[in-house]
Structures are given as C-alpha cells and as structure tokens.
Amino acid sequence: MTAPLTLDSANTTRSAPVEAPANADGVHTPLGTEPALFELRQATLTLAGRPILEKIDFVVRRKEFVSVVGSSGCGKTSLLRLMAGLARQTAGEVLYDGKPITRSHQDVAIVFQDYGKALLPWRTVTGNVALALEAMRVPKSEYRDRIGCVLELVGLAQHADKYPGQLSGGMQQRLQIARALAQEPKAILMDEPFGALDAMTRQSLQDEILTIVARTGATVFFVTHDLEEAIYLGDRVIVLRPNPGRIVRTFDVNLSRPRDQLRSREDGEFTRLRHELHTLFKELH
Amino acid sequence: MINPGQHTLARLRGFIVPLALLSLAEIVYAMNDVHSEIIAPPHEVLRALSTIAMDGTLWNATMQTLAGAMAGLSIGFGLGLLLGAFLGISSFLDRLLFVSIEIVRALPSIAFIPIAMLIFGFGYRMELSIVAFATFWPTLLLTRSAVSSIEPRLLEVSRALGFGIRASIWKIVLPAALPRVFVALRLAASVALIVAVTVEVTANPLGLGYGLMSAQQSLQPATMLALLCWLAAVGWTLNSALLWTEKRLFGRMTSTDFTR
C-alpha cells in the first residue's frame, strides 16, 4: 500500500502555523524519561478462535505521540480497543497508569474514524460536546465556558447550534475531537481519524491536532494506514504485520517540533524514514 | 420553473377526479328516477350528514369510537413499547420469546371478538381489549427493530465515556429509537381505528361502526354513506395530525445524512 504524496497543499488558509507549546515543559523534555502511561506485556487477543494480536509488547510514555501503521486486518484497531477498555485481551497484560485496564477510563478519550456514526444526530454541536461533560458529572454552570473553550480550539465556535448532519465531514471530525478534548483527557486514542477526509482537510487537521496536543500535553496513540501521516505526527512509529497481528519494528522519529507541513516533510530524516517504511512494507507483502 | 401559484394549482389538480365522479353520480341520478336501498345521490348524503351532525348522534358516535380506539391504543402501544424495548436490548429474551410471539401474532385480532364478548360483555372494555391486542404486535415488532438497530458505535461511545446502563438508555437508546417508535405509533393508530370500527360493525352496539350497521338495517343508504365519508375524514385527520407532529419533532433529524 502506498500513501498519497501530498506535499504541495500546505499553504491553505486553514493550516495555521503550528505554534510553540504554551506550557514550558512541553518544549523538549526527552520523552524517554517520562513514566509509562500505557504498557502492554505479551498482550494477545483471540476472537472466535482466530488469533488477532499475538504477544504485543510496547510502552507509551506520558506526552508521547505514538503512531501505529499496518495494512488492513493487522489488528491496529483491536490494539486500540484493548487500550480503550472496549475489548479484553485473552492473555498477557494491558496496563494504564500501572493498573490493569478493566473498563474505559474517563481520562482516556477515543476518536473514531466513522465520525458520522459516533456523533448523536439529535444533538447540536454544543449538545454533543455536553455529552462528555455529562459523563464526567461536571456542574452545569461550567458547561458554557468549557464547551466554548473546546469549540474555539477546534474552530467550531461559529457552528455551536448546528446539528452534525449540517456539518461537512471535516467539521464532524473536529466535533468528535472537541468532545474528546472536553474530557480533559490524559490520553487520546485515535483510530484512523482522518482516513475518510480529503487531503486538504487532513493536513489542516493534522496540524490542529499537533497544536492541541502541544498545548494540552496529552498522550496520543494514533492508528493510521498512511505512512507519511504516521511519521509527520509521531515521536515513534510502530509497524504491525497481519495474521496474527504483531509488531515488526518500531522507528524513532527524530524530527524537531513544532512540525511544519513543508519543512518537516522535506527534512532528510523524514525522507529517510519514509524510504525505510516503504521498503519494509514492500517486504511484508 | 414552478412558481408558488402553479404549485397550488398542481395540488388542486388532485380534486378533479373525485369532483367529476361526484357530478357524474349526481347527473346519472337526476336523469334516471332511481329508488335504491344501496346508494344515494351526493346531495342526499350531504343532507344526511348535516342531519346527524345537527342532532348530535354523529358527535356521540365519533367520541365513542375514538374513546375505544384511543384507550385500546394506549394500552397496546404502551405494552408493545415496553416489551419491544426489552426484546431489542436483550437477545436472550428475544430468542426465548421469538416462537411464542410469532405464533400468537399470526392470530387475526378479530377472531378474539367472541372470546372478548364472553369475558367483558358488550361495551368499551371489549372493544378496547381487542384494539389493544391488535396494536400490541406492530408496536412490539417495530420497537424491537428500532432498538436493536441502534448504531453500535453510539453505544460504544457511551461505554467509553463511562455511562452506566440507565444513562445509556436515557441518553442514547431512547432518543435514537424515538423517530422509528413514532412511526410505530402512527401505524398502530390507524390499526386502532380500523379494528375499533370492525368490532362495532360486527358486535359492539357503540360508535360509528354501529351507526353504519343500523343505517344499513333501517334502509337509510344516505346516512350510511354519510357515516362512511365521515369515517374517512376522521382517519385522514388522525393520520395527518400524527404526521405533522412527527415532522415537527423529528424533521430536522431527517436531514442528517451519514453517507456524507
């Protein structure tokens, strides 16, 4: 599988230059020193007798942005579901903050690929964000400020009273991200969130998510099938192979932050990684 | 291009055929000196309608029929909604009751008139019990499918946010199923009217159905046809009112297009 090369469309009006992180410690702490937020030890998943994931070992550290790539059917989504507490491993351990995951945690937000199905069509933009606040039992008096704040962050403040059906795909996905942010999560699990969007929208959302992550210091686990997206966003890229799903290799991405659609993608490190990943994928198939 | 005026004209076009047929009936009737015990000319039907409307019998009969139909509907719809929701949520219950439901549902509700008559005698209770039985099944089936076809992703969102069962039902299941449950209500309401009138025609000395029967037996075709026209109007009004409510409640949601 080859990902489309989309280098020349970075100068759209929406793709605001990635700002420097607002909090001082976000600038450049070596991530290797941060404590682990997620830890998988020999995690194995079998569904109806079919092995989906086999002996997965990895750690996601706090404030780390980990991308996961792999062809379809390699268990990327299943891996995310284990970490989200939406599925249970058949063997091994999946830890969040040092404790086994038995159910979904409210400080772990999930952004699904199929935004159209993950939003409540009978609630407005505001109402959809409010759902997260209701779950967290936030006092009603704080709703206005908190909803306004996250909608501002994803650029939907002008559309607060619209219904999801009245929004474009990109805006619907922004809304789902806003709902995730309203949880004030420590970690965001994203399952091919930009897979169904056009190239332009995808790039501006990539930059927006980087800005937001830099600002909030959230840990991100990002599933994608787009190799370049994985490199562009991640601190590390984990490569999975199918039947059963297991880790082939992990790449460190030594690109400076903040990233830039043009500069980062023209960096020697980027092209080197892209080359290595493409070659690896060709070998796998 | 269609301007608003043309649009109204286009809608009025639908009245051409019925008006032509009525005029034809009137003309044929005037040309031949018929004395029929089956049909009456439109002007006599109109006169009969105004007579029974003036002396209050029409109003009384309508209220009786609607009372029987609506009381039965609320019981049948309420119970069907409850059991349908449970069956939609629990596949265990669904499998447990599937065969029983399919067997009992196949019975024509009208077949229960003799039994209901034995149990309740003549009157409202007999009529509403049969209406309740008849409306229970479509409500049950439609609610079951409305609940079981809720987008699983939404339930996952609810789980991921840490909502319990009660909050999930209240915030996700109910609002998601509501538009289709309302369709069930609309269907059940028309079934309720049909069954109520049928019970009145065949057995119960109440309401518009009984009025139809006594007009027929006392050889008053004009009154009989007037009641028939009135029934059509009642049924049409009921359905339009529900359609209007549905549009008001869920209109904006039908614009939600997930394929975008």
Give tens-digit pLDDT for B218-230: 888 899 999 999 9
Coil vs helix vs strand at A100: strand
Give the gap in angstroms from C-alpha B255 to the nearest C-alpha of chain A. Answer: 6
- Whether residue A68 contacts residue A240, with contact meaning beta carbons closer than 8 Å, is answered with yes
DSSP per position, chain B: ---HHHHHHHHHGGGHHHHHHHHHHHHHHHHTT---SS---HHHHHHHHHHHHHSSHHHHHHHHHHHHHHHHHHHHHHHHHHHHHHHHH-HHHHHHHHHHHHHHHTS-GGGGHHHHHHHH-SSHHHHHHHHHHHHHHHHHHHHHHHHHTS-HHHHHHHHHTT--HHHHIIIIIHHHHHHHHHHHHHHHHHHHHHHHHHHHHHT-S-HHHHHHHHHHHTT-HHHHHHHHHHHHHHHHHHHHHHHHHHHHHHGGGGG--TT-
- Cα–Cα distance, A277 to A218 (Å, whole number): 26
pLDDT digits (tens, 9 = 90+) for A130-170: 999 999 999 999 999 999 999 998 999 999 999 999 999 99
pLDDT of A233 higher than 70: yes
* Two tokens, residue B172: 């996700």
Record: contact A163-B172, CB cut-off 8 A: no
In this structure, how many other beta carbons lie within 10 angstroms of the beta carbon of residue A15?
18
Give me the pLDDT at residue A28, please. 47
User: Phi-psi category of A48—alpha, beta or left, where left has phi over 0 and alpha has psi -120 to 50?
Assistant: left
What is the CATH superfamily name and number for domain B45-244?
A: MetI-like (1.10.3720.10)
Touching check for B162 and chain A: CB below 8 Å? Answer: yes
Confidence of residue B258 (pLDDT cuts 50, 70, 90): very low
ipTM of predicted complex: 0.81
Coil vs helix vs strand at A138: coil
Coil vs helix vs strand at A99: strand
pLDDT digits (tens, 9 = 90+) for B75-123: 999 999 999 988 988 888 889 998 999 998 888 988 989 999 999 989 8
- Whether residue A218 contacts residue A186, with contact meaning beta carbons closer than 8 Å, is answered with yes
Touching check for B171 and chain A: CB below 8 Å? Answer: yes
pLDDT digits (tens, 9 = 90+) for A105-128: 999 999 999 999 999 999 999 999
- Domain edges within chain A: 114-184
What is the overall mean pLDDT for chain A?
87
CB pairs under 8 A between A and B: 65
Name the pTM for this structure: 0.73
- Cα–Cα distance, A73 to A191 (Å, whole number): 13
Across chain A, where does the E strand assignment appear? 36-47, 50-61, 65-69, 91-96, 99-100, 108-111, 187-191, 219-223, 236-241, 246-252
Touching check for B3 and chain A: CB below 8 Å? Answer: no
Closest CB from A117, A132, A168 relative to B151: A117
- Whether residue A178 contacts residue A150, with contact meaning beta carbons closer than 8 Å, is answered with yes
Find the radius of gyration of the CA atoms of chain B: 23
pLDDT digits (tens, 9 = 90+) for B162-178: 998 889 888 998 889 98
Q: Identify all chain B residues contacting A112, using CB atoms and an 8 Å cutoff.
A: 153, 156-157
Give the gap in angstroms from C-alpha A211 to the nearest C-alpha of chain B. Answer: 24
| Residues ≥6 apart with Cβ < 8 Å to B103 | none
Q: Identify all chain A residues contacting B176, using CB atoms and an 8 Å cutoff.
A: 120, 122
Interface residues of A toward B, Cβ cutoff 8 Å, are 84-86, 103-106, 109-110, 112, 114, 116-118, 120-122, 131-132, 134-135, 163-166, 168-169, 183
Closest CB from A104, A106, A164 relative to B256: A164
